[in-house]
Amino acid sequence: MKRLQQILLVAFVLLMLAACTTSPTPITGDTPAPGGTVSPTLPPETPTATSTPLPGRLILVTNASPLEAEIHTVLETYTADQGWQLVSQPGLAASDLGEDVKIVLLLEPDSAQAALAESNPGIPFAAITSSNLPATANLSVLRLRPADELFVAGFVTTIIAPDWRSGALLPIDSPLGEGAGDAFVNGGRYFCGRCAPAFAPVVLFPVTALLPSSSTVAEWQAAVDALQTNRLETLHLTPAVASPDLLSWLAGKDTILVGSQTPPADLSLRWAATVRADPAALLPALLVDLSTGSAGTELAVPITLADVNPELFSPGKQEWTQTVIQMLADGEINPLSVPAQ
């Protein structure tokens, strides 16, 4: 028993000594470690911001072109497939051309816009134009042929007209100037020669009225009335002429119409056909070429028939017109070479 009491006493003393011993201070990063070196205290790591690449951009420079709507539809499909943004804008500056720009498409560009292609050789450009703008290393050109288009319009408007009594309203300030009237008349006379009607009034058809594109609706109406003194049966309208107000006025006439744009619903029964350039047909293949580095090509924009009313423009005459379109494309017909009489 005494032995047990001694053991318990010793254990008690040892516990008291341990409680009175000072705990060692923990070594921090600046405390000398064994061997005399100092471990520096490192600041906590700050997450590094990683920039997200911008999606590619395809820029469409419109310049108030009547072709914009159909072209925009094709570009929407292509950019959606590529995961790009489609940016449609009326002009173009050097500051618009960042590293994220994949393709620039120009509609009837001015000289300053075309020059941006030369100063940005790393960006593929394409232009849809009726001018003589040349293709370059990074600039492809889709060449519009307004004289061909008017020649075909003159041909169609005349072959569907009773007694060949056809005419057109044309802007005199188009790139063709007075040549617009020549191309239209030549298209009609390619079909019927002098196109002299069998009944009075005897006038050599087709007939045309050329006014500035800024002319008022009243001035275009007066031009139509003047043409109607010759008992006009068919009339061709270009987009520069065919304002909604003029088309609404023509809806009250009996004249059969041929245009270069899709007609409003209230004219569909008297709209024989639309004769227009079709650059959208070339765009899918061109966009693939541009996005894979193949630029500098030049292609002629085809002429197409649309919105055809077979009651006014028979399948046989449509086929005949397609032959003329192909002959123009092959260079077998010069739309300005047939002498007006």
Q: In terms of domains, do 208 and 128 share one?
A: no
Q: Are 227 and 206 in contact (CB under 8 A)?
A: no
Q: In terms of domains, do 88 and 193 share one?
A: no
Q: Judge whether 294 lies within some domain.
A: no
Q: Judge whether 339 lies within some domain.
A: no
pLDDT digits (tens, 9 = 90+) for 283-336: 999 999 999 988 899 999 999 999 999 999 999 999 999 999 999 999 999 999
Q: In terms of domains, do 90 and 174 share one?
A: no
Residue 113 has pLDDT above 70, yes or no: yes
Quick one: pLDDT band at residue 41, thresholds 50, 70, 90?
low
Q: In terms of domains, do 194 and 316 share one?
A: yes
Q: In terms of domains, do 242 and 201 share one?
A: yes
Q: Judge whether 299 lies within some domain.
A: no
3-state SS, residue 60: strand
Q: In terms of domains, do 188 and 158 share one?
A: yes
Q: What is the CATH number of the domain that holds 322?
A: 3.40.50.2300
Q: Which of 83, 117, 143 is the last residue of a domain?
A: 143
Q: Judge whether 129 lies within some domain.
A: yes
Q: How far apart are CA 167 and CA 154, in angstroms?
A: 8
Domain count, the chain: 2
Q: How far apart are CA 127 and CA 298, in angstroms?
A: 10
Residues 6+ apart with CB under 8 A from 192: 158, 164, 205
pLDDT digits (tens, 9 = 90+) for 130-163: 999 999 999 999 999 999 999 999 999 999 999 9
pTM of the model: 0.81
Quick one: pLDDT band at residue 26, thresholds 50, 70, 90?
very low
Closest to 247 measured CA to CA, from 273, 225, 221, 275 = 221
Domain that holds residue 79: 57-143
Q: How far apart are CA 21 and CA 121, in angstroms?
A: 81
Residue 5 has pLDDT above 90, yes or no: no
Q: Which of 122, 143, 164 is the last residue of a domain?
A: 143
Helices (H) and strands (E) in the chain, counts: 9, 12
Q: Which of 117, 143, 169 is the last residue of a domain?
A: 143
Q: What is the CATH number of the domain that holds 79?
A: 3.40.50
